[in-house]
Amino acid sequence: MRLPRIFVEGPLVAAQQMELPAAASQHLLAVLRLRVGAPLVLFDGRGGEHPARLVAAGRGSARIEVGGHRAIERESPLAVTLLQGLARGERMDIVVQKATELGVARIIPVAAARSVVQLAEARAGKRIAHWQAVAVAACEQCGRNRVPEITAPMGLVEACRLAAADAGTRLWALDAEGGTPLAATPPMRGERIALLVGPEGGLADEELETAALIGFTRLRLGPRVLRTETAGPAALAALQALAGDFGD
């Protein structure tokens, strides 16, 4: 039986008893209907996980006892930074969720020229917190013990330069109109990769040219034009397959 997995702001300490946050307590008691003594798994995003058990339950309150640390990781063999053009509402949530499930290490939301959404600074903080919650929920579901970093939204030039600052990173920009086929440049395990994906409407020609000046190579997935919420996860899945992630 698959045990419930709960993310808790750590650090977690073995043999410690602690109250879970209200939302986690509500999920365990009202949704999953766990009873005292039930086992579960906790992780704090720092790596590894802890077995735990429910030791007390009240109205909207769950107390658990933390077990010993287990050095279990389910991370990708690639360290991928996804530079995702800002997309509308649910589409961006889908990208964050699926990219997390597929092992992305970092997501940089990019305010591209054709982004329908342009976040004001006052709203950006709330959106980052929302996307981080989506990533946490995806980690709870898929078994990852490390939550990907989600940065503040930034312009394309700043995002590309940030990704390129990590020496040795392979820089790719998805381009449905041309570029090198993905299968022709397969990634190797342990590589760092930055993947630039446009918003609805794709990247403008000037943006692709700017990215190229920073070092990004145009990459083609195949003969079809994919939606923005499909393109990133599809590329990530292909990269993971080529790097052997799906065979582990």
Instruction: Dump pLDDT digits (tens) for 113-170.
Output: 888 766 666 577 888 999 999 999 999 999 999 999 999 999 999 999 999 998 899 9
Note the pLDDT of residue 179: 83
Same domain for 89 and 54: no
- Phi first, then psi, for residue 217 (nearest 5°) are -100, 135
Full-prediction pTM beyond 0.75?
A: yes
Which of 36, 66, 96 is a domain's end point?
66
Note the pLDDT of residue 41: 96
Q: Confirm whether 72 is domain-assigned.
A: no
Q: Confirm whether 71 is domain-assigned.
A: no
Half-sphere exposure of 159 (CA within 13 A, CB side): 30
Place of tokens 């022709």: 184
Same domain for 111 and 41: no
Note the pLDDT of residue 238: 93
Same domain for 87 and 56: no
Which of 66, 96, 117 is a domain's end point?
66
Residue 247 has pLDDT above 90, yes or no: no
The two three-digit tokens of residue 74, written as one number: 């389910």
Write the pLDDT tens digit of every residue in 67-119.
999 999 999 999 999 999 998 879 999 999 999 999 999 999 999 988 876 66
